[in-house]
Amino acid sequence: MTETVAPEPTPEQAALFARVRRLMLIAGLTTALAVAAVLIAIGYRLFRAEGSVVATDTTATLPKGARVLSTAVAGDRLLVTLEVAGAVEIRSFDAKTLKPAGRLSFASEP
């Protein structure tokens, strides 16, 4: 059986083949970089996620006669403004766990 022998490429053909190989290498590396970026973004989102939020039932006890003036959200804090015995007080709670985070009381100067 006879084998087909490919003739040697001319210098112009060899230059064209080299250019095509270089362009294919650039395209392959670009594709690999894009796929890696997508996988990194997906991994970041999966590991950064804090899981599902668990619903909590919490009862905050207020002093007798206290009145809620307003509520607000600031970042990851829940702020409740109260009027307690004529004085204004702000209480802050962690928005995720609803645990008390701090208290700010206002008093008049004598």
The SS3 of residue 74 is strand
Q: Reply yes or no on whether the pLDDT at 1 is more than 80.
A: no
C-beta separation of 71 from 79 below 8 A: yes
At residue 91, the 3 state secondary structure works out as strand
What DSSP letter does each residue of 9-44 carry, written as one string? Answer: PPHHHHHHHHHHHHHHHHHHHHHHHHHHHHHHHHHH
- Mean pLDDT along residues 4-12: 87
| Range in 15-24, 29-38, 70-79, 94-103 with the lowest mean pLDDT | 94-103
Q: Over the stretch 42-85, which tens digit does the pLDDT of each residue have?
A: 998 888 766 656 667 778 788 888 899 999 998 889 999 998 88
pLDDT at site 84: 86
pLDDT at 27 over 90: yes
Q: What local confidence, expressed as pLDDT, does residue 71 receive?
A: 92
Average pLDDT value over all residues in the chain: 87
Q: What is the pLDDT of residue 51?
A: 60
Position 31 confidence tier, pLDDT thresholds 50, 70, 90: very high
pLDDT score, position 32:
98
Compute the distance between CA of residue 60 and CA of residue 100 in angstroms, rounded to an integer. 9
